[in-house]
Structure formats: C-alpha cells, structure tokens
C-alpha cells in the first residue's frame, strides 16, 4: 500500500499529521511525503514539516491524500501541482482530501459531478468546479473520499483503514492513539455554535481564501 501525501507551503499541519499518524501504521504501508521540491515545508501554524520527495519522484500511489490550508485555492496558480494530482489520481485506489484540500481536487478537475465536502466555511465553493457540495463529515463517492474541517481527517483515516485492512486493525489503531473525543465545549459544528461567533469566524476565514 503506497500512500502519497501532498505537502505545500502554508498547508494546515493537522490535516496531514492526523491521518498520517493512522495510515502510516497500516501493515505494509509505505508513505511518501511529496512537494514541488523536496525539503522543508512551513505550515500555516509555522510548524516545519519535511517533504521527502519531489513531484517527479512519485508517479503513482494506491492512496493519495491532499491536506487543506488557507491558501489551498492558490494552487490553481501552479499547474504542475494540479497535473501531478490528476496523474496520481489516475493510478489510485483511493483519492482523498481533508478540509480545503477538496478545493485542490476541485481545481484539478477531479470532483466534477461528484459529491464532496470541505470545511464548513468553504464547502459551497466546491460548486465552482461542478462538484456537488455535501455538508457531511466524511463523503465517499466512488474512489473519492473527502473529509470536512481539519479534525475530520482523523475520522476519515480510521474509515479508510477499516476498508483497507479491516475493522480490527482500525479499532486497534483508534485505541492506540486513544481517540475518544470528549471536547470541553460543544461548539465544534456550525450548527451548534453561537450565531454571532459563527459569522465572525466565517468572515475571518473567508478573508484568507482566494477564489
């Protein structure tokens, strides 16, 4: 099982790190962290990650994961990245994204006619690329699986693990990372949050996007 993660500057770290923690532990998995050029990648929280491979190093994968970031739509300005995403998608068993990573899949032309999700602030933008925006935490349409905002990537990774390696393996990995969410505040969904808080946050987050 060859798994490719696309890394790019100003990506959101948890979009990749959460799923990486799980998917990298699937028996037989080999993980490739790929960027335009190999080397350090600075995330939107200033955390430095390392891409071990350049785009030209990786030509196929069984599973592709695209993380999101505040600048996800600016990857439209890098046709080499979008072409790489398209070429890898042609080889995959599963093509996946977390949060605004689905906007990158959209820009690559992969989501046209497909149901998909994204962060709650940006999910409606998917229609720009003829996707069918769906406000669910995990959306599976054929071999494409998209996850909603940031933390949903962990759920998606466990869901994928069950499909790839079976539920006992997924259960073991979930227990191993002690993933048993019990947040201190019940405001993790826009449907639960105070409307004033929700709209203020929506405006701040939308200001980060170019579309």
Residues in the chain: 211
Catalytic annotation on 109? no
Burial 135-174 (b: 16+ CB within 10 A, else e): eeebbbbeebbbbbbbbbbbbbbbbbbbebbeeebbeebb
Positive or negative: CA dihedral 17, 186, 101, 198: negative
CA distance 71 to 74: 5
The catalytic residue among 61, 99, 108, 147 is 99
Catalytic residues: 99
């Amino acid at each position: 099982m060859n798994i490719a993660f696309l890394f790019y500057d100003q990506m959101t770290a948890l979009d990749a790190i959460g799923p990486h923690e799980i998917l990298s532990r699937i028996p037989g998995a080999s993980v490739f962290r790929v960027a335009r050029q190999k080397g350090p990648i600075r995330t939107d929280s200033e955390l430095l990650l390392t891409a071990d491979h350049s785009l030209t190093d990786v030509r196929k994968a069984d599973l592709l994961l695209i993380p999101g970031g505040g600048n996800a739509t600016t990857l439209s300005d890098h046709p080499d990245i979008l072409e790489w995403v398209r070429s890898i998608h042609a080889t995959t068993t599963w093509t996946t994204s977390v949060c605004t990573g689905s906007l990158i899949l959209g820009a690559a032309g992969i989501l046209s006619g497909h149901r998909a999700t994204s962060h709650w602030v940006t999910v409606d933008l998917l229609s720009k690329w003829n996707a069918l925006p769906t406000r669910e935490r995990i959306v599976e349409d054929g071999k494409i699986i998209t996850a909603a905002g940031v933390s949903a990537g962990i759920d998606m990774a466990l869901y994928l693990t069950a499909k790839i390696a079976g539920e006992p393996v997924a259960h073991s990995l979930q227990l191993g990372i002690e993933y048993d969410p019990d947040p201190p505040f019940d405001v993790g969904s826009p449907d639960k949050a105070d409307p004033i808080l929700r709209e203020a946050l929506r405006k701040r987050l939308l200001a980060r996007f170019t579309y």
